[in-house]
Amino acid sequence: MPKDSGIGASPKRREDIRFLTGLGQYTDDISLTGETHAVFARSQVATGIIKSIDTSAAENMPGVLAVFTGDDFVDVGGNPAGWLINSRDGEPMKEPKRPVLAHGKVRHVGDAYAAVIAETAEQARDAAEAIEADIDEQPAVVDMKSALAGGALVHDEIGTNQCFDWGWIEDNRAATDAAIKSAPHVTTLELVNNRLVPNAMEPRASTGVFDPGTGDYTLYTTSQNPHLTRLLICAFVLGIPENKLRVVAPDVGGGFGSKIYHYGEEALVLSAAKKLGRPVRWTASRSESFLTDAHGRDHVTKIEIACEKDGTFLAFRTETMANVGAYLSNFSTATPTFLHGTLMAGNYTVPTLYVNVKAVFTNTAPVDAYRGAGRPEATYSLERAIDKCAQELGMDPLALRRKNFIKPDQFPYAAAAGLEYDTGNYHALVDKLEELADLSGFEARRAATKATGKLRGIGVNTYIEACGIAPSNLVGVLGSRVGLYDAATVRVNATGNISVMVGAHSHGQGHETAFPQVVADMLGIDEGSIDIVHGDTSKIPFGMGTYGSRSLAVCGSAVVRATEKIINKAKKIAAHMMEASEQDVEFSEGQFSIAGTDKSVGFGDVALKAYIPHNFPIEDIEPGLEETAFYDPANFTYPAGAYACEVEVDPDTGKVTIDRFTAVDDFGNVINPMIVTGQVHGGLAQGIGQALLENCTYDENGQILSASFMDYAMPRASDLPLYTVDHSCQTPCTHNPLGVKGCGEAGAIGSPPAVVNAVINALHSGGHTDVTHIDMPVSPARVWAAMNS
């Protein structure tokens, strides 16, 4: 029987009730007395010199209260990059200033150069259109290769479009080059990891409030990490004392990375609120989201795999150009480097590898971490190249992978890309995949498909990711400018119910349901009496928020540590109540007892005593029952998986249909299997979307061509299959108290290569053996062209 509560159970999500009845409170649902509305004037050209901005007509329009331009923010700080990356020659990366509003020059379509505040959103919109900006359009830099080749500059003051030229691991470079030079076989593949738009369904929104009486600011905003946003605004941009800014991220309608970052609109609404003494609201239209949310991926990579004739891997080498767009977003420099290069060994015992990444400024929207962040790019390059390698060697693709897997008894394993994987069992994952995906039945299914005139293909791959981001000591060495711990406060109230204040933020992940399962198990009490509080810096301890599949592994571990402290203190109180020594107190199933006696007190009695401390040993024990813990992980966690995709290709149209998709993942221990399965489903849809449908493109003038849901192919219900998902192969993480690894990004990391491998396999079965690769998205046009070239 499955459990119905506690760790390992799948209670229904409690947050669903408010979402299903229309009572969720998203940022744009909050309206405040006296509120005003902000609308931004945004560049229509990819780049140009701002010669003048005439706001006089706009200022005289009905309802207009104020107009801001870049001139108003020249004295405030720039929005910084969170990681310092050094180039191979030791030079620090180039960090041009990212202002609140563009000043002097606009650098991508959508770059905001002015903002209007008015009584109504319509009035603000009308006035924004009346702003007369004289912007002298300049030649745009769009393509990464030409950006590096010289010519026009995105930022004149840095004299180059190259942000950095990073090598990993530099000491392995010579050995890798030598191994590739002398290898009996080398597979080479050039591929594009297509640019994506995260498109959380809730557009970004921010409301700034200033209280002239106290000097306190409040920002309601669509954030995955309210404390990080506060830190960036206070310490870098506006210089507001941290204790004067409260950041609230209420219900947030999805993030996928795009709501990690601080954006200029947040600083604008706060500054405007102070100037006007009234709340200032802004909500992005979907078009603005396309133009200004941080995009994802956008790598061009050449990968080489050197191996023996029997398939034993000898070395991997990659060269990547990574687009960072027009400005450095907060994690943009970490994503193509330490979240990408460090994973390039995959699940394999390759002895050496070398990764080179050049980050490139272009006149496009900033690019940053999007679900998976660097790890999908690493997985895609490697797992596509391994499939090509298997074809060249005439080997079964799974057999080639198995041959090179790190073996279960080799863990902990120091992989060639510099990380030490604590646990894993990749052979077990593939065994499970063979069973669940019925790989032995594939040929029969292929024959049946052939009878319909279509081509069936199968693609498999594995992946490794580094989650639970991140050990502060390690990332500090690697260039992170922040620590990446998390925090939790467990407050037991006098009547025994509990509030748990957490640094993680839930925007779909179900923390309000899953975190109480952990605390309830530890305390032996009903999880219904435990509530999670998140998203408000005035209520929660300083945590780093939710991204990188870190909430449970890092913040959940802080919850465990804080709950342990509660138990320790409660034992002291119980000992006093039972007139026993603390060492003799045992705690189980919500009861404190003394072994060998019939003395016992319940958790609720102890809680009451803590707050009504009559006859209380106040010299030895403080009243109250509330504890905080900060948790900093010792290592990353290493989820891994094996995926199989079966497609049907219509040779007449090139259309690819996914018939079956099987995902077998090792997430370590699982707290709520229902939620974990849902996370995998969502990741798969985004990975399949990348592989088949989604593509953010700019023309040579820097005009974005895919800036609406009419032009950008979001996966819809009819594009996707039912998935088979399994997470029964568990090798628990050895260094966090829950043994969990994280599940949020897996689906998006593991699925793109499986889809493309399957399409290539299908084409080969139809005699198109000369087709070795098709870039994503594997659209009907591209497939048809490959088959008919």
Partner 1 sequence: MTKLSMTVNGKPVSGNVEGRTLLVDFLRQDLHLTGTHVGCDTSQCGACTVHVNGVAVKSCTMLAAEADGADVATIEGQANADGSLNVIQQAFQDHHGLQCGFCTPGMVMATADLLKNNPTPNEADVRHHLDGNICRCTGYHNIVKAVLAASGQDVDAVAAE
Residue 538 binds: one of ligand FES, partner 1, none (C-beta under 5 to 8 A by kind):
none
Euclidean distance between CA atoms 404 and 414, whole angstroms: 15
414 forms part of the interface with partner 1 (CB under 8 A):
no
**Min CB(756)–partner 1 separation in Å:** 19
User: Which among 746, 737, 744 is positioned nearest to 7, based on CA atoms?
Assistant: 737
17 forms part of the interface with partner 1 (CB under 8 A):
yes
Strand blocks (E) in 667-711:
none
- From its phi and psi, is residue 683 left (phi > 0), alpha (psi between -120 and 50) or beta? alpha
**Min CB(31)–ligand FES separation in Å:** 19
Considering the complex, state which of residue 612 and residue 705 has its C-beta at the smaller distance from partner 1. Answer: 705
Q: Is there a contact between 65 and 274 (Cβ–Cβ < 8 Å)?
A: no
Considering the complex, state which of residue 193 and residue 506 has its C-beta at the smaller distance from ligand FES. Answer: 506
Euclidean distance between CA atoms 382 and 48, whole angstroms: 39
**Min CB(95)–ligand FES separation in Å:** 34
5 forms part of the interface with partner 1 (CB under 8 A):
no
**Min CB(478)–partner 1 separation in Å:** 31
Residues 6+ apart with CB under 8 A from 558: 485, 486, 487, 488, 502, 503, 543, 629, 630, 631
Q: Which range of residues in 129-137, 143-151, 373-381, 724-732 is near partner 1 by CB under 8 A?
A: 724-732
How many CB atoms neighbour CB 784 within 10 A?
A: 17
Among 77, 374, 510, 750, binds partner 1 (CB under 8 A): 510
692 forms part of the interface with partner 1 (CB under 8 A):
no
Residue 31 binds: one of ligand FES, partner 1, none (C-beta under 5 to 8 A by kind):
partner 1
Residue span 172-211 as binding mask against partner 1, x where in contact by CB under 8 A, dash where not: ---------------------------xxxxx--------
Distances (CA, A) of 234 to 76, 101, 237, 239, 487: 11, 17, 6, 5, 20
Residue 21 binds: one of ligand FES, partner 1, none (C-beta under 5 to 8 A by kind):
partner 1
**Min CB(508)–ligand FES separation in Å:** 5
Euclidean distance between CA atoms 215 and 240, whole angstroms: 10
Q: Is there a contact between 107 and 95 (Cβ–Cβ < 8 Å)?
A: no
Q: Which range of residues in 64-72, 105-113, 674-682, 692-700 is near partner 1 by CB under 8 A?
A: 674-682
Q: Is 720 helix (H, G, I), strand (E, B) or coil?
A: coil
Euclidean distance between CA atoms 166 and 183, whole angstroms: 25
Q: Which range of residues in 25-33, 186-194, 394-402, 451-459 is near partner 1 by CB under 8 A?
A: 25-33
β partners of residue 39 = 116
Considering the complex, state which of residue 24 and residue 524 has its C-beta at the smaller distance from partner 1. Answer: 24
Q: Which residue has the tokens 């509560």?
A: 5
Strand blocks (E) in 198-244:
205-211, 216-221
Residue 20 binds: one of partner 1, ligand FES, none (C-beta under 5 to 8 A by kind):
partner 1
DSSP state of 504: S
β partners of residue 488 = 502, 629
Binding residues for ligand FES (CB under 6 A): 201, 253-254, 508
Note if the bond before 470 is cis, omega within 30 degrees. Answer: yes
Considering the complex, state which of residue 28 and residue 666 has its C-beta at the smaller distance from ligand FES. Answer: 28
Among 31, 588, 788, 789, binds partner 1 (CB under 8 A): 31
Euclidean distance between CA atoms 737 and 480, whole angstroms: 25
Q: Is 184 exposed, middle or buried (0-12, 13-18, 19+ CB in 10 A)?
A: exposed
682 forms part of the interface with partner 1 (CB under 8 A):
yes
Q: Which of residues 65-104 bind partner 1 (CB under 8 A)?
A: none
Residues 6+ apart with CB under 8 A from 243: none
**Min CB(206)–partner 1 separation in Å:** 16
Q: Which residue has the tokens 């052979």?
A: 427
User: Which among 92, 85, 550 is positioned nearest to 334, based on CA atoms?
Assistant: 85
Amino acid at residue number 385: A
Burial 626-657 (b: 16+ CB within 10 A, else e): bbbbbbbbebbbbbbbbbbbbbbbbbeebbbe
**Min CB(668)–ligand FES separation in Å:** 25
**Min CB(548)–partner 1 separation in Å:** 17
Residue 720 binds: one of ligand FES, partner 1, none (C-beta under 5 to 8 A by kind):
partner 1
Among 63, 78, 104, 254, binds partner 1 (CB under 8 A): 254
Site for partner 1 (CB under 8 A): how many residues? 61
Among 122, 129, 620, 652, binds partner 1 (CB under 8 A): 122
511 forms part of the interface with partner 1 (CB under 8 A):
no
Amino acid at residue number 217: Y
Euclidean distance between CA atoms 326 and 364, whole angstroms: 5
Residue span 740-759 as binding mask against partner 1, x where in contact by CB under 8 A, dash where not: -------x------------
Residue 682 binds: one of partner 1, ligand FES, none (C-beta under 5 to 8 A by kind):
partner 1
Judged by the rule CB under 8 A, the positions of this chain that interact with partner 1 are 12-13, 15-26, 28-29, 31, 122, 199-203, 251-254, 256, 283, 285-287, 507-510, 674-675, 677-678, 681-686, 708-710, 714-718, 720, 722-726, 747
